[in-house]
Structure 1
Amino acid sequence: MERRIQPHQDRVRGLSSASTADAVGGPLIAHCQTAGEKEHNIKTLTYSIRINAPKEAVWKHMLDPSDYRQWTQAFSPNSQFIGKWEQGETILFIDPDLGGTKAVLDEVVPHERLKARHVAMINKDGSEDVSSEMAESWIGATETYIFNGENGQTELLIEMTTHENFEEMFNAGWPRALELLKAVCESS
């Protein structure tokens, strides 16, 4: 079942399911075990937007340090990344005033697909957290960016696999972030 996150903006869609294909059957809840052997409800959240720019340009703007700071303001005012967008690399997604997350880039296919797997939370002081209850529910979350281009346009699909505790945050942040990214890409 498709659920509009922002009904007044047709260009951003949000689904809460295992995948777009599974959406008709409703939310799919999976279970996983953390280091503390606690069972957590995992959800796959999907967001997409059509951008009037070729996928190469969308890739460039999405990952450029300056442009990244613009579109990720939807999540945090001083969002930034530290690291390289290369397969196997570790990257930090942080706001120096708030902390952030550490991820490993499991898949990087330029202009096509990028997948990050979160391995720790970063505290405000810069230290890593892998053992708090929040960190245990966050570790293992993935985000995948899929770039589908045709006729100079790009359909950007974001797929987040995360604990249900983070669903509200992503449902509020991703639609806005995608609109900001669209504006950055289309103004260039």
Structure 2
Amino acid sequence: MQTLTIDQQLKINAPAEKVWRVLWDNDTYKKWADAYMPGSHYTGDLKQEGRIKFLDPGNNGMESEVVSLTENREITFHHLHELQGGKEGQSLGNMQEKYTLSEHNGVTTLTLTSDMPEEYFNDMDAATKKALQIIKDLAEE
């Protein structure tokens, strides 16, 4: 499976702590994750070595492990396998997704990198642009 990496960055006029809350608070997560798939949500432990399931309303999505986490600064997920109806599907190999927050003078730069199968790259790259804009809007409210 050929993979490409989405690499996007956005400046947000809000402290890193607020951007982090927008990213990972269940209610705001659902708002920006909607850019990828309406009804998206996650379950699990958002902590080092925790397991997270990123799901759509039909329990399709993927299961991931939190490889590293520094609150308000950085989180990296290793995507383990697809989920179909909540059941383990195809392995996702070494695909990773990383969110990095860097704050300077109250402005946070959010960088998102995400490994993606080539066939989904264009759609997911466009969805990521939309998701980042929603995160910015929510954090700047």
For normalisation by structure 2, the TM-score amounts to: 0.94
Equivalent residue, structure 1, for 2:8: 47
- Indicate whether 1:120 and 2:81 are aligned: yes
Equivalent residue, structure 1, for 2:114: 160
Give 1:177's aligned amino acid. A
Misfit runs of 4+, over 6 Å: none
- Within 1, Cα distance between the matches of 2:43 and 2:15? 26
Q: Which has the higher contact order (CA 8 A, sep 6+)?
A: 2
Of 38, 43, 56 in structure 2, the residue corresponding to residue 77 of structure 1 is 38
Larger Cα-atom Rg: 1
Q: Is contact 1:92-1:100 (8 Å) kept?
A: yes
Equivalent residue, structure 2, for 1:186: 140
Equivalent residue, structure 2, for 1:101: 62
User: Cα RMSD over matched residues?
Assistant: 1.3
Give 2:98's aligned amino acid. T
Instruction: Classify the secondary structure of the residue corresponding to 1:74.
Output: coil
Q: Is contact 1:78-1:97 (8 Å) kept?
A: no
- Indicate whether 1:171 and 2:125 are aligned: yes
Structure 2 segments unaligned to the other structure (5+ residues): none
- Within 2, Cα distance between the matches of 1:139 and 1:77? 26
Q: How many residue pairs end up in the alignment?
A: 141
- Within 2, Cα distance between the matches of 1:108 and 1:157? 15
Q: CA deviation at 1:141?
A: 1.2
- Within 2, Cα distance between the matches of 1:41 and 1:79? 25
- Within 2, Cα distance between the matches of 1:184 and 1:139? 33
CA deviations 1:126-172 (Å, max 9, x no partner) are 11103xxxxx4x33211000001011110000011232122112212
